[in-house]
Amino acid sequence: MADTTTDQALSDTLAIAALLAQLLPAGVELYQKIQQNNQNAGLVPVETLLEDAIGLGTTIEQAADAEIAANEPKDGTAPQAPAQTS
């Protein structure tokens, strides 16, 4: 792959993150991480980058499990509102 294509791909990702940073406060931290990845492109080993990605994937899965366990009806039915007392 030509370097220009690689650079374009990295710039595209950064532009997407920049858009999100303008839309959401949470996007600012994301933009900074992606910017750092781009600035250090060529310095960080592939294995290190992928291990970071795998760690994030694990975090996402665990957080999703916690949210599902806390909010999914245990018997497959919608949660019932508490019975009203007169």
Partner 1 sequence: MKLFRILAVPLLALSLAGCARNAAAPPPTAAQATAIGVDDFAASARTAQQVEIGLFQQGLIDAPTHVAIQKGFKKCGQDIQALGTAINTGASSATISAKIQAITADLNVDITTGVLGVRDPASQQKLQALVSGLGATAAVFAKTYGGQ
CB of 38 to partner 1, least distance (A): 6
Footprint of partner 1 on 23-42 (CB under 8 A): 23-24, 26-27, 29-31, 33-35, 37-42
80 binds partner 1 (CB under 8 A): no
What percent helix, strand, coil does the chain show, rounded to 5?
Answer: 70, 0, 30
Footprint of partner 1 on 49-78 (CB under 8 A): 49-54, 56-65, 67-68, 71-72, 78
CA pair distance 22, 33, nearest whole angstrom? 15
**Residue 29 token pair:** 């931290």
